[in-house]
Structure 1
Amino acid sequence: MGVRKKERAEQIKEAKAQVAFAKLNNCPTSPRKMRLVADLVRGKKVELALNILRFSQKEASRKLEKLLLSAIANWQAKNAEASLEEAGLFVKEIRVDGGMMLKRLRPAPQGRAHRIRKRSNHVTIVLGENNNTQSN
């Protein structure tokens, strides 16, 4: 491995150590429905995001709440000595990508068939620390 490549790899590794993230793969909800809920918490503080997800009526909010709790636990595992309240964690990035699609056939009149696409998605939550006190 060359020197520049090795230095760049070390920089990327250090940058990843600063943030905490969690991934949910092949969640059996359509990406469009999940994005509606993800847009509610993007950029919010962690406490506020948890409250929004806890009291939302949508089914996707239950899965996002569990994923956010997992990301918080990952952050606490990296920063055992730091406290959650003083860190000022917020949802830095949340991505919802399309996952695999189950293709099914539904019978239709006159011997025809319609294709049903059961969509799934991949969700990634990245938490960032905010040392400044902002109100979101």
Structure 2
Amino acid sequence: MEVRATQRHVRISPQKVRMIADAIKGKPAEDAINALKFMPQKSAGIVEKIMRSAVANADQNTSIDVDELIVSNLLVDQGPSLKRFKARARGRGARILKRTSHITVVLSEGLVH
């Protein structure tokens, strides 16, 4: 059985979130949450919150044992970018893209090492 939690339009670049995602893929859910708690990156706190939401979703289903959940997949897709302009030399303007992310955490029951 698999459980998922999604957060869309998060104001952080997908590239920054993917660094964290690669670090916790395949780990047991409890170990992943503990690892995220001590990472200094902003994206670690965001992913930790989504992980807790996925575990809470699994807790609502009586047929799933929460202690045996592993992070089977963590998808980070690019959301819409906010377009902004910054003043530059000679009266010009430079475009700045403030990127957003769609983050999906997928937990599944598996054998925990």
Q: Same fold (TM over 0.5)?
A: yes
Aligned to 2:66: 84
- Counterpart of 1:129 (choices 106, 109, 112) is 109
The answer as to whether partners of 2:2 and 2:107 remain within 8 angstroms in 1 is yes
Return the TM-score normalized by structure 1.
Answer: 0.79
Q: Matched residues in 1 for 2:70 and 2:26: separation?
A: 6
Return the TM-score normalized by structure 2.
Answer: 0.95
Q: Matched residues in 1 for 2:80 and 2:24: separation?
A: 25
Aligned to 2:9: 26
Structure 2: tracts of 5 or more residues without a match: none
Q: What pairs with 1:1-136 in structure 2 (closer than 5 Å)? A: 18-79=1-62, 82-85=64-67, 88-130=68-110, 132-134=111-113
Aligned to 1:15: none
Q: Matched residues in 2 for 1:133 and 1:107: separation?
A: 53
Deviations 1:20-48 (A, max 9, x none): 10001000000000111111111111111
The one-letter code matched in structure 1 to 2:83 is K
Q: Matched residues in 2 for 1:78 and 1:20: separation?
A: 9
In structure 2, the CA distance between the partners of 1:103 and 1:36, relative to structure 1 (3 Å rule), is same
Question: Whose Rg is larger?
Answer: 1
Q: Matched residues in 1 for 2:19 and 2:40: separation?
A: 12
Deviations 1:20-79 (A, max 9, x none): 100010000000001111111111111110111000000111110010000001011122
The percent of aligned pairs where both chains have the same amino acid is: 35
Question: Paired residues, what number?
Answer: 113
Deviations 1:89-116 (A, max 9, x none): 1000100000010000101010111000
The answer as to whether partners of 1:40 and 1:52 remain within 8 angstroms in 2 is no
SS at match of 1:116: strand
RMSD of the alignment, in Å?
1.2
Higher helix share: 1
